[in-house]
Amino acid sequence: MQKQNGFTLIELVVVIIILGILAVTAAPKFINLQGDARSSTLQGMKGSLQGANSLVFSKAAIAGEEKKGSADGTTLGSVDIGTGTNATTNYGYLVATAAQLKNALDVNMSDSETAGFDWYIKEGANATSAAQIYQAGSPRYGDTSKECFIEYTPATSATTSPQYVVKDDDC
């Protein structure tokens, strides 16, 4: 009788199970789902900020406040956005402060990382300077060298629009 060489069915099943376990433990290291989720969250916040700014500018234009402002933030406008607190504007767009963005976006935001909020903002030198908006728990939280934030630069003249730049290299 001739002896057959090969693998038994049990040996093949064991190898398939081992490969499945390895794939489940190794796949998350190669698929950066958490980083993609953080980047998507930043893109969502950017869209919310753009939408809010469009509505605020529309209200400012109706109220005749779209021309009020200054490059250094010393002269600012104000518009009723229906929240009970007027939005402070520069050339019709939201200024980059935690209070104003919190008011217009209805988000849980602070300018202090120790406050336990969902979103944080590193404000610029004044209300018209660029600000960095980032989420609690992101790599940017507690480490200012990490790029996982939205950089919001308000309008600085009547002919410029706000700038929204998502920096997600370290997400």
The C-alpha atoms of residue 28 and residue 9 are separated, in whole angstroms, by 30
**Beta pairing, strands 119-122 & 109-110:** parallel
pLDDT in tens, 89-115: 999 999 999 999 999 999 999 999 887
pTM: 0.79
- In the Cβ-directed half-sphere of 153, how many Cα atoms lie within 13 Å? 9
pLDDT in tens, 49-72: 999 999 999 999 999 999 999 888
Domain boundaries, given as residue ranges, for the chain:
35-167
Q: Report DSSP letters for the chain, one per residue.
A: -PPPPS--HHHHHHHHHHHHHHHHHHHHHHS-HHHHHHHHHHHHHHHHHHHHHHHHHHHHHHHT-TT---TTSSS-EEE--SSSSPEEEETTEE-S-HHHHHHHHT--EES-GGG--SEEEE--SSTTS-EEEEETTSTTTT-TTS--EEEEE---STT---EEEEE-TT-
Q: What pLDDT was estimated at residue 31?
A: 74
The C-alpha atoms of residue 171 and residue 27 are separated, in whole angstroms, by 18
Phi-psi region for residue 93, left (φ > 0), alpha (ψ -120 to 50) or beta?
beta
CB 162 within 8 A of CB 93: yes
Query: What phi and psi values does residue 161 have, to the nearest 5 degrees?
Result: -110, 160
The C-alpha atoms of residue 2 and residue 11 are separated, in whole angstroms, by 21
Q: Judge whether residue 29 has pLDDT over 80.
A: no
pLDDT in tens, 145-167: 999 999 999 998 989 999 999 99
The amino acid occupying position 171 is C
